[in-house]
Structure 1
Amino acid sequence: MKKFHHISSALFSLVLAVIVAFVFFYLIEIRKQKIHSILSLDLVRAERLIVDNFNHTSSLIRNINMQIVNSSFNKNRINQILYKFRSNPILVETFSWTIFSWSDRANKIIVDADNGIIDNPIDISDRDYLDFVKNKAKDNIFYIGKPVIGSTSKKWIIPGGVGVFDKRGKYRGSTVIGFEIEIFAKLIQKNILNPNVSVTVFKTSDQIPILFSSANKIEYYQNYQPKFDSKISDLIKSQFSENEIKGYIEIISNKKAFLIKKLSEYDITIVVDYRSKAIENELWNSIWSRSIEFLIIIIFAGVIIVIIYKKENSEKKSIINLKENAEKNNNEKTNLMRIISHDLRNYISSIYSLSDLVLNDNSNDNNDKIISFKKCCKIIKYQSSEMLNFVHDLLDFNQIDREVIDLNKLEYCNVKKIVEMMIYLNGNLSNSYDLKIIKVFDNKIPKLKCDRVKFKQILDNIFTNSIKYNKENGEIKITVKYLKDSSQIFIEIADNGIGMTQKDIKEALEGNAHKIDKSEFTKKIDSHGIGLPLVKKLVELHGGLIKIESVKDSGTKVKLWFKIEGELIYPEEKNFNCEISSILDEDDCHIKQEDRKKILIADDEEINIFVFKQILRKTNYQIISARNGLEAINLVKKNKFDLIFLDIWMPEMDGLKASKVIQDFLKQNKMNIPIVFVTADDNLDTKQKIIDLEIKYFLDKPYTKEKILELIKQIFYKGQN
């Protein structure tokens, strides 16, 4: 037993030793990879700095040489060319070259960018790169030479140049330049990210160290006596032999780390070195810190496993519940889509059948035909209006579901007038149910700042519900008051219809009105269960409050409160019947016109233009039409219009682009013509584009005579709000 115990202890110790050794070597490898990443990054930065300097300079010299060839090698012209390419002080932070000089074929500098034409030419024939430049001049190669003291700058430089042949193929000289080694070293030092990294630059062919740069030290070539660590020189000599010169070398170990890269194009070698002592210190620090982390991970791993195990069952139950809820929601959406598709088919079917009836009426009795025709058209109009309202509500309901619905342009609106218009426009519907409409309005009601379209939508949804769910010969009472104490506008729409239970109210506000039992209500109702959630959201967007009070079989009251902020603005008192008549173009209050106003209508659909002209045929307006944006632009340039209607979606050029061109033309000619966008697009992005173009008006399709005349009146006679 004792022997077995010793064997178990030995095996455990062996396994533990293997694990520790594995972790140790793993951490060493991780650290080596990190050092390699650091060196690679600094190598790339150093290489980019050097290559960018050389490439940029090479490009400039080639440009200079082309101009020198075209100047016929005239000294004065060469002087002017070189002066243009002087070193810009702004570039000192990025580039390290000094000035350009021109060396003639005798290797003497005769023109200098700073000193101009030199009376006593400077002999530079001892520089090793000139022979290469002369021999390779036809190849247009930029060659780098050994470090020298600059002939004019008197600083240690890396010289370089490109030779020039004339048009007859004769060597005429070279454009030369020097890179200041000290500035080069400082630029490299500035670009080194890690303080433990140093960069050494060699002349590859001669293995001459040019510069050494680290975080706190800079050395560079002086008197051909390198002042560098011998290990780097030995490393270069051992790795770059005459017989085999590799392009890239990396040496990463526990005690030393180098990356070496040769830039063949410029005969330059870069050595990136990681400080040896730093490698050892960081390695042990890494081992200790990782070991502590490893122990902490083991301790917490056990705790996490226990927690996960305990939560597993509750999470499974949650997943099951989520799945059941998802299936329930899918079933509800399926039912809603079934109801929607059924109602849409009913609308379209009735419109189609009535249209077919009108088109195929072969009756000989003209009076009977006219009566039948008008009756069919009234029903078609009613069904179209119902379907349009349904589609608008459906789109807005979808925006609520995606949480993207928002208010558009806010303006001060006459609440009493909007309510009066709502009652008037729904008159046919309320008359069909023989309902009595009772109005209780305060004499003076201030204007409300709101989105006019969405505010009408709120009232229209509530009012049409009161009509549809009312009893025969019932009544609807509409109250509009200004509450001075709370500075609120109060609106109440009350009916004595079928009413709802508290459960029904909750279902209706959640968009589930189709679930409410209406079996006792014998009258057929066009309702889709999406109106009240939309109303609630639109009221909240206006900062208002909605409250529904209802009793089964007794009726429903919908109460609205809207806060008025700032100064009270009261509308002008007007005869509403006169206003309605003017909107409908009736005789008792016709729109006054001093001149025959000219209106442009741009739409690619012939039927839309026909409808527009039919609506305005009894007015005194002159109507001109265009089929696309380009035609509209040409007509605007040739005619003086009082109003322009632009359809958004047209071929060749759409309304949005055309409006921009027209607006620019109007500004140039100091003209101001109102533009109205006509669209069936209810997308918020499209409305935002209209707002961005600073277009004040737009007309939704389909439009009615009342809508168009009301809009024209609003534009031409702004005083009537």
Structure 2
Amino acid sequence: MQLANDSAGIGVWELDLNSNELIWDEWMYKLYGIKTDKFLGAYQAWENSVHPEDIEDAKVKLEAAINGTGIYDTEFRIIRPDGEIRTMKASAEVVRDDTGAPISVIGVNYDITEKVNTLATLIQAKKEAENSAKAKSAFLANMSHEIRTPMNAILGGLQLLKNADLDLELKNTLNNASFSAQSLLTIINDILDYSKIESNKLELEEAPFSLQEILDSVQYDLDSEVSNKGIDFSVSTDNTCADSWLGDLVRVKQILLNLASNAVKFTSEGSVQIKVTEQIYNNQEAIQFEVIDSGIGMNSDAQQRIFERFSQADTSTTRKYGGTGLGMSITISLIKLMGGEIKLSSELNKGTEIKVTLPLKHSKITTKHTKEKSLTAPKLAKFNILIAEDNRINQALIKSFLKPTTADLTFVENGQQAVDAVKQKKYDLIFMDIHMPEMDGIEAQILINEFDSRIPVIALTANVMKEDIEYYLSQGFTAHIGKPIDINNLYGLLHQFTS
């Protein structure tokens, strides 16, 4: 026993409860840094050595053990004669006579300072990492907002110019500018998604959705690029495949759109096909997407790299086709979050086939997505619309967007002016920016809702992260439309609230 104690550096002590004498072994003196020739009594030495902030708790626990109302298993700090503070782990057993009366306590002490310090260091490191993650998320959210605000004016202006009477050369220049601006917005969204996936903050919704709606939307989004390239693009769905499913509509579309847009991007001639079937995967019904293209293809090394973050097939691919390399990584992460799998088959210069299986549940209810698009503006000649927006460029852009509606438009520059305007005039609809001087959009919406809860108030903001949108809706906003504003989304929303 002594050899074991010596090896572990464990000190043994015994307290005689009749004489109140405390006996220490040699290791106790070493642990406490006290010399035996200067020792005035073990109990006094122990009491004087324990840190003033810890002594009461240590004594209370010892008394509780002696009285039979607790166990003695604790930690406390000691101050050695040289001023060094150490942390002790202490435990003990109470010895009782035949009547159950306590007669002595036998216990041990051992030094756990290094363990405590290491744990404290780890806790501090974890706290710093969490703070860093929060700071990064806040930075990305703010950066997204700051970039989206000018992007709103750029993309909005380009959308308006598409209706202008321009010659062929200018139309081509306009289309190139629109494509480049949309590509920049895609990169911004990819960076935000990657950040959320990396910090485990991306959550999937589970709501009824229509599979056909996703397929139609993907075709709509890629129609312009497919037409410009002159390639064949087809979507076929097996007759036995159900249309109604439970899952995250936005993320399912994101997976398919990323795969299909990559196929179109890397196909200069030939075709891109999307084949949709219903399968059984791990004893559960599942959607299977096959995206087949006749594009540039990949060799075996490139196929391995395509699954890495920030990677594309090779550097020449990046130079020729652009992109961050994040899209595929995000797609794979989303597939894994859904419990699915992805398989890739490709041959250089002969095309690529990607097969994705997503195990989702059937839904008995088909719910159309609330954000319907519309190519035409609704006629709102008798409507009064209030727009709270502090950015003059955005004011001019929204005014141009809403001009075809023939609605009566009122612009204010902050939340307080919006509240005052509602009190002076009846409005049928309000578009409310969030970040404004004097009074922000959230506070203004709450006050307007208290004054007249019947007026739909739509959040119009560059904050587009899921948690932001959910927060706005929980605060009473009727709907949300993000910046940069998609004119077809805007018209679709107006049709919803004015029909």
1:466 deviates by 0.7
- Contact kept in structure 1, 2:388 and 2:412, CA below 8 Å: yes
1:604 deviates by 0.5
5+ residue gaps in structure 2? 1-28, 68-102, 115-146
1:677 deviates by 1.4
Normalising by structure 2, we get a TM-score of: 0.64
Q: Per the alignment, in what secondary structure is the counterpart of residue 699 of structure 1?
A: strand
Of 480, 484, 487 in structure 2, the residue corresponding to residue 705 of structure 1 is: 487
Partner of 2:390: 604
Residue 695, structure 1, aligned to residue 477, structure 2: yes
Partner of 1:500: 298
User: How far apart, CA to CA, are the structure 1 residues paired with 2:56 and 2:452?
Assistant: 58
Q: How does 1:455-474 map to 2 (within 5 A)?
A: 455-470=252-267, 472-474=268-270
User: How far apart, CA to CA, are the structure 1 residues paired with 2:336 and 2:41?
Assistant: 61
Q: Deviations over 1:495-520 (max 9, x none)?
A: 11122244423322221424x3364x
- Contact kept in structure 2, 1:416 and 1:445, CA below 8 Å: no
Partner of 1:32: 47
Residue 21, structure 1, aligned to residue 67, structure 2: no
1:701 deviates by 1.2
Q: Match of 1:705, as an amino acid?
A: I
> Could you say if the C-alpha distance between residues 522 and 648 of structure 1 is closer, same or farther in structure 2, counting changes exceeding 3 Å?
closer
Q: Match of 2:374, as an amino acid?
A: I
Q: Match of 1:664, as an amino acid?
A: E
> Could you say if the C-alpha distance between residues 31 and 495 of structure 1 is closer, same or farther in structure 2, counting changes exceeding 3 Å?
same
Of 377, 383, 390 in structure 1, the residue corresponding to residue 187 of structure 2 is: 390
Q: Per the alignment, in what secondary structure is the counterpart of residue 349 of structure 2?
A: coil
Q: Per the alignment, in what secondary structure is the counterpart of residue 320 of structure 2?
A: coil
- Contact kept in structure 1, 2:388 and 2:433, CA below 8 Å: yes
Q: Match of 2:296, as an amino acid?
A: I
User: How far apart, CA to CA, are the structure 2 residues paired with 1:457 and 1:518?
Assistant: 25
Normalising by structure 1, we get a TM-score of: 0.46
Q: Match of 1:711, as an amino acid?
A: L
Partner of 1:402: 199
- Contact kept in structure 1, 2:385 and 2:408, CA below 8 Å: yes
Q: Match of 1:463, as an amino acid?
A: A
- Contact kept in structure 2, 1:504 and 1:513, CA below 8 Å: no
1:646 deviates by 1.2
User: How far apart, CA to CA, are the structure 1 residues paired with 2:337 and 2:429?
Assistant: 33
User: How far apart, CA to CA, are the structure 2 residues paired with 1:40 and 1:555?
Assistant: 75
User: How far apart, CA to CA, are the structure 2 residues paired with 1:561 and 1:406?
Assistant: 19
Residue 552, structure 1, aligned to residue 348, structure 2: yes
Of 375, 381, 395 in structure 2, the residue corresponding to residue 584 of structure 1 is: 375
User: How far apart, CA to CA, are the structure 2 residues paired with 1:675 and 1:700?
Assistant: 14
Of 581, 606, 616 in structure 1, the residue corresponding to residue 402 of structure 2 is: 616
User: How far apart, CA to CA, are the structure 2 residues paired with 1:379 and 1:446?
Assistant: 36
Partner of 2:212: 416
Q: Per the alignment, in what secondary structure is the counterpart of residue 569 of structure 1?
A: coil
- Contact kept in structure 2, 1:38 and 1:194, CA below 8 Å: no
1:34 deviates by 7.2
- Contact kept in structure 2, 1:490 and 1:561, CA below 8 Å: yes
1:652 deviates by 0.9
User: How far apart, CA to CA, are the structure 1 residues paired with 2:271 and 2:61?
Assistant: 85
Q: Deviations over 1:645-694 (max 9, x none)?
A: 21111111111222222223334xxx2x3332122234555344324325
> Could you say if the C-alpha distance between residues 373 and 35 of structure 1 is closer, same or farther in structure 2, counting changes exceeding 3 Å?
closer
Q: Per the alignment, in what secondary structure is the counterpart of residue 499 of structure 1?
A: coil
Q: Per the alignment, in what secondary structure is the counterpart of residue 361 of structure 2?
A: coil
> Could you say if the C-alpha distance between residues 482 and 618 of structure 1 is closer, same or farther in structure 2, counting changes exceeding 3 Å?
farther
Residue 375, structure 1, aligned to residue 169, structure 2: no
> Could you say if the C-alpha distance between residues 36 and 559 of structure 1 is closer, same or farther in structure 2, counting changes exceeding 3 Å?
closer
Partner of 1:646: 432
Q: Match of 2:188, as an amino acid?
A: V
- Contact kept in structure 2, 1:536 and 1:546, CA below 8 Å: yes
Q: Match of 1:467, as an amino acid?
A: V
Q: Deviations over 1:551-573 (max 9, x none)?
A: 3322222223333436423468x
> Could you say if the C-alpha distance between residues 194 and 483 of structure 1 is closer, same or farther in structure 2, counting changes exceeding 3 Å?
closer
User: How far apart, CA to CA, are the structure 2 residues paired with 1:39 and 1:447?
Assistant: 64
Of 336, 350, 355 in structure 2, the residue corresponding to residue 540 of structure 1 is: 336
- Contact kept in structure 2, 1:603 and 1:650, CA below 8 Å: yes
Q: Match of 1:494, as an amino acid?
A: I
- Contact kept in structure 1, 2:269 and 2:295, CA below 8 Å: no
Q: How does 1:4-153 map to 2 (within 5 A)?
A: 21-22=36-37, 25=40, 27-33=42-48
Residue 657, structure 1, aligned to residue 428, structure 2: no
1:437 deviates by 0.5
5+ residue gaps in structure 1? 1-15, 43-191, 198-214, 216-283, 305-343, 359-365, 573-578
1:523 deviates by 8.8
User: How far apart, CA to CA, are the structure 2 residues paired with 1:693 and 1:522?
Assistant: 43
User: How far apart, CA to CA, are the structure 2 residues paired with 1:556 and 1:194?
Assistant: 70
Q: Per the alignment, in what secondary structure is the counterpart of residue 277 of structure 2?
A: strand
> Could you say if the C-alpha distance between residues 688 and 620 of structure 1 is closer, same or farther in structure 2, counting changes exceeding 3 Å?
same
Q: Per the alignment, in what secondary structure is the counterpart of residue 490 of structure 1?
A: strand
> Could you say if the C-alpha distance between residues 634 and 507 of structure 1 is closer, same or farther in structure 2, counting changes exceeding 3 Å?
same
- Contact kept in structure 2, 1:445 and 1:570, CA below 8 Å: no
User: How far apart, CA to CA, are the structure 2 residues paired with 1:537 and 1:685?
Assistant: 19
Residue 637, structure 1, aligned to residue 430, structure 2: no
Q: How does 1:433-512 map to 2 (within 5 A)?
A: 433-442=229-238, 445-470=242-267, 472-483=268-279, 486-512=284-310
User: How far apart, CA to CA, are the structure 1 residues paired with 2:199 and 2:467?
Assistant: 15
User: How far apart, CA to CA, are the structure 1 residues paired with 2:333 and 2:216?
Assistant: 23
Q: Per the alignment, in what secondary structure is the counterpart of residue 431 of structure 1?
A: helix
Partner of 1:513: 311
Q: Which moved more, 1:372-381 or 1:472-481?
A: 372-381
> Could you say if the C-alpha distance between residues 535 and 33 of structure 1 is closer, same or farther in structure 2, counting changes exceeding 3 Å?
same
User: How far apart, CA to CA, are the structure 2 residues paired with 1:474 and 1:39?
Assistant: 78
User: How far apart, CA to CA, are the structure 2 residues paired with 1:381 and 1:39?
Assistant: 68
1:22 deviates by 4.9
Of 226, 231, 239 in structure 2, the residue corresponding to residue 430 of structure 1 is: 226
Q: Per the alignment, in what secondary structure is the counterpart of residue 641 of structure 1?
A: coil
Partner of 2:3: none
Of 463, 485, 491 in structure 2, the residue corresponding to residue 681 of structure 1 is: 463
User: How far apart, CA to CA, are the structure 1 residues paired with 2:325 and 2:270?
Assistant: 23
1:626 deviates by 1.9
Partner of 2:94: none
Q: Match of 1:559, as an amino acid?
A: K
Q: How does 1:152-171 map to 2 (within 5 A)?
A: none
User: How far apart, CA to CA, are the structure 2 residues paired with 1:503 and 1:674?
Assistant: 55
Q: How does 1:286-325 map to 2 (within 5 A)?
A: 289=107, 293=109
Equivalent residue pairs, number: 383
Q: How does 1:318-397 map to 2 (within 5 A)?
A: 371-397=168-194
